Amino acid sequence: MLAQYCYLIRTTVIALLLLFTPIMSSADTRQRLEPEPSLESLSQSTQTAPLPLGTLLDSEGKPITVPNQVQSSFEYAAPTLTPTEPPKATKSTKDTQSTKATKSKKLTRKQQLASREHVANDPNCRWLDKRMDQLEAQLGGKQDNAAAHQADELSARQKEWQCLKCGAEGPAQNDHSKCQYRR
């Protein structure tokens, strides 16, 4: 009995498949009946008029005009800026007056080592100069207990500055370990 039902279902499925197969195959045959383009028809141009010079076609076949003046990125000229204010000096006028006076007379070796007018070409000296500028700005004339640690660090950095010879030629190779500020 079960075998008969399986046979019946199987034949029904096969019959349905046979019914729908001609529909699918007829679509395929319609495509096959359309003539394939030949080499002669492909080589013939569908346009009747030639394009004028300087035009291109977009994806729909419409002409696009190309602008005549195209600026290259190599021809870029940056706008000129006129300064409205004179640049501000980083050091105060008091410092500049004292440096003018010191320029006129030759500094001693000890004064040259302590001076921060010239910074040696050394990364440690450049950092030390910036750090001392920071500490001086933070102190800014304050003399209270809150700024005591900054004043202590500033005096230690000034000693390190002199030891590393940052005001003159810069540190020797063994000066780094000898002069390093230790807390």
Q: Residues 145, 113: contact at Cβ < 8 Å?
A: no
Q: Alpha-carbon distance 49 to 5, whole Å?
A: 71
Residues 120-136 pLDDT 10s: 888 888 999 999 999 88
Question: Measuring CA to CA, which residue among 66, 52, 165 is closest to residue 118?
Answer: 165
Residues 85-114 pLDDT 10s: 655 555 555 555 555 554 567 777 777 777
pTM of the shown model:
0.41
